[in-house]
Chain A
Amino acid sequence: MTRNLTLGIYLPGKTALHCLDPRTKIAGASGLILLLILTNNYAAYASFAAFTIALILAAKIPLRFALKGLRPMLPFLAIMWVFQLLFQKPPGAAVIFSWGIINITDAGLHIGTLMSIRVLLLFLVTTILTLTTSTVELTDGAEALLRPLQKIGLPAQELALTMVITLRFVPTLAEEAEKIIKAQTARGVDFGRGNFIRRTFQLFPVLLPLFINAFKRADELITAMESRCYTGGAGRTKMKVLRMGRSDYLAWVVFAVFAAIQVVLMIKVGRPY
């Protein structure tokens, strides 16, 4: 059940992507996400997808493994797609299908499809970041990027820590969920059987222990941190100081070129509806 989970897992490696400065990777991923949100047509998405796959291959992540992570999202996307199809009716859109009270417009079809592609690519980009960056690097990077904002009172270190703890515990909670599912299966809960309502009720024996254990874990973590005199970010120094290298500058050039291509594609091709 949790075997398809790829987000939040770190896949150790020695590829160029692994060795980049985490600031480059976080900023790069954020830049890519920004591009994704702006993207408005199929050609630009196709070129984006090609770039994403190139990144996956460059990081030596097995393509099938990366794509498998998308599987759990498909049902949600399907539901969202249907909703867009049924309810997106911008003024001036052409009706392409009509049956009773159901009217489907070309704009609805395009918006739904583009949105699904966007979410899938968004997920892939985030996955590439976490697969190639260890949690320690992620915190350091996020903290460094947020540091300028400290001047206006943003607790950069604390925010970075919160983010990393969240990411760190996704696989842990997933593993725990799997154990709980097994313990309840052993008592005769037949997961994934029955209608929608029955399936929802089947989640109670899993969610309750999961939440209780998550709170317990948080409590233990706080104790562990306090017993090691954690007092927040003020005045902390780093053992490893982040340094940008030649490969980072190269990565920025690649990103700039790619962003330029995307922007051109967005403007030249334009919305399909």
Chain B
Amino acid sequence: MPIEIEHLNHTYKEGTPFARPALFDINLKIDDGEFVGLIGPSQAGKTTLAQYLNALYIPRSGRVLIDGRDTADRKTDLVRIRFEVGYVFQNPDHQLFKRTVGEDVAFGPTRQGCSPQEVRERVREAMRLVGLDEETFYHRDIFALSGGQKRRAAIAGVLACRPRVLILDGITAGLDPRGRREILDVIERLHREREMTVIFISHSMDDVARLVERIVVMDRGRIVDDGPAREVLARVGRLKEIGLEPPQVVEIMQRLRERGFAVPAGVMNVQEALSEIVKALGRPGVKESWN
């Protein structure tokens, strides 16, 4: 289900004295099964752009095609598009409203008109995918959940609609390192096992570097860089210019290069960095299976 955006412009609060242009001539194509990181500083327009991808915003200027269907076309079934392109928002408190986790996860599929058995089946699957044990959590009160568990319940609520594309908007913000790692593992598994297209919005470059294959960088309403993660991350200077903190590994490798060590650009994770540094130091005896 490819998504295409052509010449999209957006004005925030159009028609009020607070009107402010937010997106300028956006062109973007996302193919099936891609894992895209959408990064940029605050106010870059990431969320605004993402909300066009599941027809929460309808373009007034430019075009958004989802699987060839124009979202501005009156004949397009927007509700169906929203089920096909799942969107998880940053704050789970905006989404969760039923009393128990199970009921809330069941909300989407019930809206889709699934039979009770089908709903039950999907809830079970979605909860398993996000790692919420059904026995323990199905009847658990929403208020009794921790921050990380709420996030996972919210993701399950969207997964239960069986989307083919998943948009995750800032879902690691405010989580402790462990909660963060658990969420990222879930997402990675979804992408790998379900071959789901994932669009991951964040301003944490470390999260993005760990996960994605392609990075789209936004700044002040424009796409300023787009390419394979490795290449985009190698352009450290540019990222710093718009106020993004490059991943720590990239930063370390960059500094080593500046000091004259023969390490390559575009190293993405600790494992690679270790073997490159070992290679550069010319000491093959160092244990390489460090974690």
Max count, chain B CB within 10 A of own CB: residue among A64, A187, A208 = A187
Task: Tell me, in angstroms, the Cα distance from A188 to B80 when the chains sit together.
Answer: 8
Q: Are A180 and B94 in contact (CB under 8 A)?
A: yes
Q: Are B95 and A11 in contact (CB under 8 A)?
A: no
For the complex, is B86 an interface residue (Cβ under 8 Å from A)?
yes
Q: Are B16 and A65 in contact (CB under 8 A)?
A: yes
For the complex, is A52 an interface residue (Cβ under 8 Å from B)?
no
Residues of B near A97 (CB, < 8 A) are none
User: Looking at the complex, which one of A186, A205, A213 makes contact with B56 (CB distance below 8 Å)?
Assistant: A186
For the complex, is B79 an interface residue (Cβ under 8 Å from A)?
yes
For the complex, is B51 an interface residue (Cβ under 8 Å from A)?
yes
Task: Tell me, in angstroms, the Cα distance from A11 to B13 when the chains sit together.
Answer: 14
Q: Are A62 and B93 in contact (CB under 8 A)?
A: no
Residues of B near A11 (CB, < 8 A) are 17
A218 CB, nearest partner CB in chain B, Å: 14
Known: A11-B17, A62-B17, A187-B157. A179 touches B107 (CB 8 A): no
Residues of A near B24 (CB, < 8 A) are none
Q: Are A209 and B82 in contact (CB under 8 A)?
A: no
Interface of chain A residues 149 through 171 with chain B (CB within 8 A):
none
Known: A3-B13, A11-B17. A186 touches B111 (CB 8 A): no
Task: Tell me, in angstroms, the Cα distance from A189 to B87 when the chains sit together.
Answer: 13
Write the B48-85 contact mask toward A (1 if CB under 8 angstroms, else 0). 00010010100000000000000000000011001100
- Residues of B within 8 A of A (CB-CB), count: 27
B62 CB, nearest partner CB in chain A, Å: 20
Write the A166-205 contact mask toward B (1 if CB under 8 angstroms, else 0). 0000000000100110111111111000000000000011
Q: Are B95 and A184 in contact (CB under 8 A)?
A: yes
A3 CB, nearest partner CB in chain B, Å: 7
For the complex, is A68 an interface residue (Cβ under 8 Å from B)?
yes
Q: Are B79 and A190 in contact (CB under 8 A)?
A: yes
Residues of B near A225 (CB, < 8 A) are none
Write the B146-189 contact mask toward A (1 if CB under 8 angstroms, else 0). 00000000000110010000000000000000000000000000
Residues of B near A204 (CB, < 8 A) are 97
For the complex, is B112 an interface residue (Cβ under 8 Å from A)?
yes
A68 CB, nearest partner CB in chain B, Å: 7
User: Looking at the complex, which one of B13, B89, B96, B97 makes contact with A179 (CB distance below 8 Å)?
Assistant: B89
For the complex, is B285 an interface residue (Cβ under 8 Å from A)?
no
Q: Are B94 and A179 in contact (CB under 8 A)?
A: yes
Residues of A near B13 (CB, < 8 A) are 3
User: Looking at the complex, which one of B17, B56, B107, B158 makes contact with A185 (CB distance below 8 Å)?
Assistant: B56
Q: Are B111 and A189 in contact (CB under 8 A)?
A: yes
Q: Are B93 and A213 in contact (CB under 8 A)?
A: yes
Q: Are B89 and A187 in contact (CB under 8 A)?
A: no
User: Looking at the complex, which one of A3, A186, A188 makes contact with B89 (CB distance below 8 Å)?
Assistant: A186
Task: Tell me, in angstroms, the Cα distance from A197 to B247 when the chains sit together.
Answer: 52
Residues of A near B282 (CB, < 8 A) are none
For the complex, is A241 an interface residue (Cβ under 8 Å from B)?
no
Residues of A near B91 (CB, < 8 A) are 179
A/B interface sample: 21 pairs, CB < 8 A: A65-B17, A176-B94, A182-B56, A182-B89, A183-B87, A183-B89, A186-B54, A186-B82, A187-B107, A187-B111, A188-B82, A188-B83, A188-B108, A188-B111, A204-B97, A208-B97, A209-B94, A209-B97, A212-B93, A213-B93, A216-B93
- Chain B residues proximal to chain A, CB less than 8 Å: 13, 15-17, 51, 54, 56, 78-79, 82-83, 86-87, 89, 91, 93-97, 107-108, 111-112, 157-158, 161
- Chain A residues proximal to chain B, CB less than 8 Å: 3, 11, 61-62, 64-65, 68, 176, 179-180, 182-190, 204-205, 208-209, 212-213, 216
7 additional contacts, CB 8 Å, given A176-B94, A183-B94, A209-B96?
A: A3-B16, A179-B89, A183-B89, A185-B82, A188-B79, A204-B97, A213-B94
